[in-house]
Structure 1
Amino acid sequence: MSEDYYERLVDEDALAAYLADNLGTVDEYEIERHQAGHSNETLFVTWGDRELVVRRPPPGETADTAHDVIREYRVTNAVADTGVPVPEPLLACEDHDVIGSDFYVMERLAGDVLRDEEPDRFAEPEHRRRIGEELVDTLAKIHDLDYEAIGLGEFGRPDGYTQRQVDRWGKQLSWAFEVTEDERAVPDLHAVGDWLRDNVPEAHPHTLVHGDYKLDNVMYGPAGGRDASPDKQAGDARGQPPELVGVFDWEMSTLGDPRADLGWMLSYWRDPKDPEPSIPELTTRFMERGGYPSRRDLVDRWEERTGYAFEHERFYRALAVYKLAALGEMFFRRYLEGNSDDPMYPKMEDRVPALAARAKRIIEGDEPL
């Protein structure tokens, strides 16, 4: 990260003054940028003996749904006392004189985000089973919330959510195709889009939805981790079963269709019987090992916990992969136009057709739950 970009990201003195006014003065103050590649920027802040997180949009971006951190603060604050585990939200600031954008501050949690490999401490069948169960149980808690009672009754328009998802991602693909189809076409994606438009469910439950719920957007600590001492949380917790202690990245949350959330989560969950992944560089595969629940196990548990049936499962799973393909195609357009130096973007020339083929397999029943 360039020094110029960091200076656009945060004014250290102004942020320190704001935190001092709201949290009290301290002797120790440090900032570290978290570079995990999320939509919004994440800063780790040491404030005396407290570890904090600051979330803000990327510099220069307008605050659309994907970058609306005040919206993210609002939903996190609303669910904080419901049993859905989230970092404790502390402050929200819309004064751009502080760091140049809206931002919010929350407590930092301790634990593991399971992205590339499973922690050694979880590498046994009982712990692996619990990782999957905690993941789906927490999603069920989100879908079971009374969003009116927690002040989110005006948080979105649940009617027509699923149709809007199909329409929105179709438009995103059309934008990408304006450039990418001169390089190579992806006829399977057109076919998948047509099938989705023809098969949108007529009705769906109305719940709070996370919008980007998957394994690497949650954190696991040892059992009792939220209440354990920092030393215990950060130390060797071998033998302690995993407990999901935090759900992150709520910027796409709204009121909508819980089955779309489940389909998205399942699109990232691997079964041992699955074909080779469409994007091997970005695919987590350790849940193919013995002890992890299957996708069918996760669906059965979600249905039991929520009381909803996962109807139209091929539609929701194909929609998730269609969205992933649309993201990849937008990346490919940006690469072709010279607007990115990300080494993954040119690989989308082949990876997006592979995703389209996967969506067709799901539709045709060749990649079952």
Structure 2
Amino acid sequence: MTRSSEIVDTAAQAAEMSMPPLFVVEEVRRFLDGHALGRGALEVRRIGEGQSNVTFRVLREGADLVLRRGPRPPLPKSTHDMLREARVQQALATQGFPVPRIRAVCEDEGLLGVPFYVMEHIEGDVITDELPLRFVEADADRRRLSSSLVETLVQLHDIDVGDPSVSALGRPEGYLERQVRRFAGLWPVNTRREIPLVEELSRWLWENLPPTQRHAVIHGDYRMGNVMYAPSETPSEAGEVLAVLDWEMATLGDPLADLGYLTATYAQPGESSTVLELTSVTRMEGFHSRAELVEAYAQNSDLQLDALPWYQTMALWKAAIFCEAMYTRWLNGERPGDTFAEQLEEGVPQLLERAREHSAQMPRGLKIKETQI
């Protein structure tokens, strides 16, 4: 196997590098052997376009697997928790929700520098900026992709959070307050510049905090690019969701946080793009508009959606603060060659401006919960 900055054959090779690799073949091979996951040599390649965690496909005799790990240390506090991400998927699997099957979890940071987990590879389509040629070429099929995206979100939010396998995933009470407080506190420690709009939106979010109508499992990064669809050439099967991916930010909380994020980051014709437009294909004719996504959710949920602009504002405000941390790490030389992080000099202010646009859509006179900082 060719040695690179990401994948090396041996721990000895890794020790010689100034920057640690992301995948050490001999270490992973021993780990898989210990869990009886296939036999023989490994064929490894990086997959996906994640800007946070890193994913590799691992092939060997008798096994087709995916290994998921965090980025190189140092890691921001309470992020990139692969052990928790694996637990979330294991819990959701008991509820019949479509997630990949977790095969093994490694808590030992000595192997790759961070914990990781291994799941079964699923053959399907993750749709971002291109539509697979082999299916969903008709407008009706594109609409089915949009519809199943919303239906799966409703299914997630309908999971019983009182079930013991699910209730251990988080403390839903006070979720919105904690999110606003936490991210407001993250900004000053993760930035090297002044952007007054961050504090302006922080105050607005506190002053307009809506009541949580009920608790649910929330994904935290729910979008089309984190959904795997079944590859099908028959219109009747187009759009079937095989699995929802990337559970790093999942917890228990307010389900409208997911809907706010999905709709705030959803690409549609006539709007300028942002750095968070990770599924530009939805600008094509036939996909739901943002308003149609909201309508589809409302038809299948008992939640009131009048305060959705608040959740959309929070989604982009949080994303801007999270992206600022990535930008600062890039400035510090901790993310060399990261072209996404380089874009964030202008990308973060653009996200904040889009967040302010959503805040302006909040209905006047809407009854809200009185909250003090």
Query: For the superposition of Structure 1 and Structure 2, which TM-score range results when normalised by the shorter chain?
Result: 0.7 to 0.9
> Which residue does 1:107 correspond to in 2?
120
User: In 2 relative to 1, CA 307–202 (structure 1 residues): closer, same or farther, beyond 3 Å?
Assistant: closer
Per-residue CA deviation, residues 94-146 of structure 1 (Å, 9 max, x unaligned), is 23454444222110011111112222322311111011111111111111111
1:352 corresponds, among 344, 348, 352, to: 348
Whether the 8 Å contact between 1:78 and 1:150 is mirrored in structure 2 is no
What is the alpha-carbon distance in structure 2 between the residues aligned to residue 194 and residue 269 of structure 1? 25
Is 1:216 aligned with 2:229? no
SS in 2 for 1:3: coil
Q: 1:308 — aligned with what?
A: 303
Q: 1:133 to 1:339 in 2, by over 3 A?
A: same
The letter for the 2-side match of 1:259 is L
> Aligned equivalents of 1:338 and 1:38: distance in 2?
16
> 1:61 Cα deviation (Å)?
4.0
Q: 1:104 is paired with a residue of what secondary structure?
A: strand
Give the total of aligned pairs: 347
Q: Of residues 83, 98, 102 in structure 2, which corresponds to 1:70?
A: 83
Does the alignment pair 1:326 with 2:321? yes
Q: 1:98 and 1:205, CA in 2 relative to 1: closer, same or farther beyond 3 A? A: same
- Residues 170-319 of structure 1 aligned to structure 2 (within 5 Å): 170-177=184-191, 179-181=192-194, 186-222=195-231, 237=233, 239=235, 241-272=238-269, 274-279=270-275, 282-319=277-314
Deviations 1:253-298 (A, max 9, x none): 11111100111111221333x4322348x55333233221122222
- CA-based RMSD: 2.7
Match of residue 368 from structure 2: none
Kindly tell me: are residues 278 and 3 of structure 1, through their superposed partners in 2, closer, same or farther at Cα, counting changes over 3 Å?
A: closer
**Does the 8 A contact of 1:220 with 1:243 survive in 2?**
yes
* Deviation readout 1:165-199 (Å, 9 max, x if unpaired): 1122222222344x212xxxx33333222211111
Cα displacement (A) at 1:249: 0.8
C-alpha separation between the residues in 1 aligned to 2:3 and 2:350?
35
> Aligned to 1:191, what secondary structure does the other structure show?
helix
* Residue pair 1:180, 1:333 contacting (<8 A) in 2 also: no
Mapped contact 1:39–1:66 kept (Cα < 8 A): no
Paired with 1:176 and 1:100, the residues of 2 have a C-alpha distance of 23
1:79 aligns with 2:92: yes
Conservation of the 8 A alpha-carbon contact between 2:224 and 2:279:
no
- Where relative contact order (Cα < 8 A, 6+ residues apart) is larger, the structure is 1
Distance 2:38 2:252 in 1: 39
Matches within 5 A, 1:37-186: 37-61=50-74, 64-120=77-133, 121-149=135-163, 151-177=165-191, 179-181=192-194, 186=195
SS of residue paired to 2:27: helix
Please state which structure has a larger fraction of its residues in helix: 1
Task: Measure how far apart 1:25 and its partner are.
Answer: 5.2
- Answer yes or no: is the 8 Å Cα contact 1:57–1:63 preserved in 2: no
Instruction: Tell me the TM-score normalized by structure 1.
Output: 0.84
Q: CA deviation at 1:238?
A: 6.5
- Partner secondary structure for residue 205 of structure 2: helix
Where structure 1 has 5 or more consecutive residues not aligned to the other structure, the ranges are 224-236
Q: Percent identity?
A: 33
